[in-house]
Structure 1
Amino acid sequence: MADFLEKMTMDFFIAFGIVLGGSMLGGIGAVLILQSPEVWMMRIAGSIKIWAMVAAVGGTIDPLRVIESNIAEGYMSPAVKQILYFISAFIGAHAGFSIIEWICKGGADS
């Protein structure tokens, strides 16, 4: 159980960090090319959200194969664990996106 919770926690923070870090660095890049960092940060955060989830759960199609093969064989526990890993990564990526959105909109009006 501890390994499961550790992996869920790591998936959350990896996805969170990818969205937050990528968007912040993209904002710095936007400043360097004299563009609006808010526009670029929002664009980047929205477009890398799904990739942050994929990277957090392993970066390949293997987690989806685990779900498919275990459900096909009637074993629900490994499939449910993989689905929970995806959910954890989604929540992390969305939390990163929400923080970027909050930063770009000024924080007060969200």
Structure 2
Amino acid sequence: MFSGVIGNCILDFFVSMGMVIGGSLLGGLSAIITHHNPFSTMNSLSDDLKIWALAAALGGTMDTLRVIHRGVFDFSFMPMARTFVYLVAAFIGCQVGYVIIQWIIGGEK
């Protein structure tokens, strides 16, 4: 149903959000098993995982850098603009995942 730019934006949003939420929740579970504070573990993981989720949602950074390189030096700005839109969608997904984890743990711990 959704294909093209909108479909990729939705996919990038949910992949990055899912990586932050899933990684933080499973890290909190491992903290419980190892007798550490799960809230502080989830807090630090949710912050640390944002950049990795962003890179993973975009499919690795090399393809993104190639598109930007071609856009700048070959004057093809539409692929570069499309990549920027995907980057913004993935960034918003990371931030939403971070906010959800903060809500779950009750704020900064």
Deviates more, 1:10-19 or 1:72-81: 72-81
Q: Does 1:36 align with 2:37?
A: yes
TM-score (norm 1): 0.91
Aligned counterparts, 1:22-61, within 5 A: 22-61=23-62
2:78 corresponds to 1:77: yes
2:40 corresponds to 1:66: no
Q: Does 2:7 match 1:6?
A: yes
Shift of the alpha carbon at 1:73? Answer: 1.0
Amino acid at match of 2:60: G
User: 2:100 matched to 1:103?
Assistant: no
Q: Tell me the TM-score normalized by structure 2.
A: 0.92
Q: What are the superposed Cα offsets for residues 14-66 of structure 1, whole Å, 9 maximum, x if unpaired? A: 00000000000000000001111100001111111000000001023111210
- How many Å separate the matches in 2 of 1:24 and 1:67? 34
Q: Which amino acid aligns with 2:74?
A: E
Instruction: State the aligned residue count.
Output: 106
Amino acid at match of 1:34: H
The whole-number CA distance in structure 2 between the counterparts of 1:61 and 1:51 is: 14
Unaligned runs of 5+ in 1: none
Runs of 4+ aligned structure 1 residues displaced above 6 Å come to none
The alpha-carbon deviation at position 91 of structure 1 amounts to 0.3
